[in-house]
Amino acid sequence: MAIKLSILVFVASPLDYARYRHTALYIEYDDPENAQTQSTDQSAASIKSSLSEVVGSTGFYSYSERLNWAIPVSSANVARIVPVSTFDAAPATVRETIASIPIPEDGSWGDDWNSQDWVADVLGKFVKMGVLDGGVRERAVDGMVSAVCEAGDEEVLA
């Protein structure tokens, strides 16, 4: 089944600074009916799309998946949609792979780890699985970083 993968970069609120911009993965499944017949996971039976992300803050991150989530057409919250690739894979395998990416639960990975690192790790896992090319991953991560850097710089107080 064809999987269309994109990165969503969200505007930070209340202060839109680069380090506060949140990133997530948006997946569209080309044929929900086909997913129903091919998947043994009943929760995947009618999935048309999903938003996968890490939520929380240092020491308190967790994985979250929203099924059948649609990108708000007129949302000012989405700074950019970065297309990654379309590839063939079983929806259950894609969902399981994304959910298996390690997330620091105790802050031991440092204060700088965030959703952007997690997205890059997921794409790296897809490269290792052979469903993404390394160059595709690199371009997607570059696009994500560019969108994050479009946010304002933090004010430095003297």
User: Which of the four pLDDT bands, split at 50, 70 and 90, describes residue 129?
Assistant: very high
User: Which of the four pLDDT bands, split at 50, 70 and 90, describes residue 31?
Assistant: low
* pTM score of the predicted model: 0.85
Output the CA–CA distances (angstroms, integers) from residue 118 to 2, 22, 48, 122, 138, in the order listed. Answer: 23, 11, 23, 6, 14
User: Which of the four pLDDT bands, split at 50, 70 and 90, describes residue 145?
Assistant: very high
Rounded Cα distance, 93 and 33, in Å? 17
CA-closest candidate to residue 114, choices 75, 150, 157, 144: 144
User: Which of the four pLDDT bands, split at 50, 70 and 90, describes residue 107?
Assistant: low
Share of the chain above pLDDT 70, in %: 82
pLDDT, average across residues 95-99? 96
Report which of residues 23 and 155 the model is more confident about: 23
User: Which of the four pLDDT bands, split at 50, 70 and 90, describes residue 38?
Assistant: very low
Output the CA–CA distances (angstroms, integers) from residue 81 to 29, 51, 75, in the order listed. Answer: 17, 12, 12
Report which of residues 154 and 138 the model is more confident about: 138
Output the six-digit token pair for 14: 């209340």
Question: Quick one: pLDDT at residue 138?
Answer: 98
pLDDT, average across residues 33-58? 69
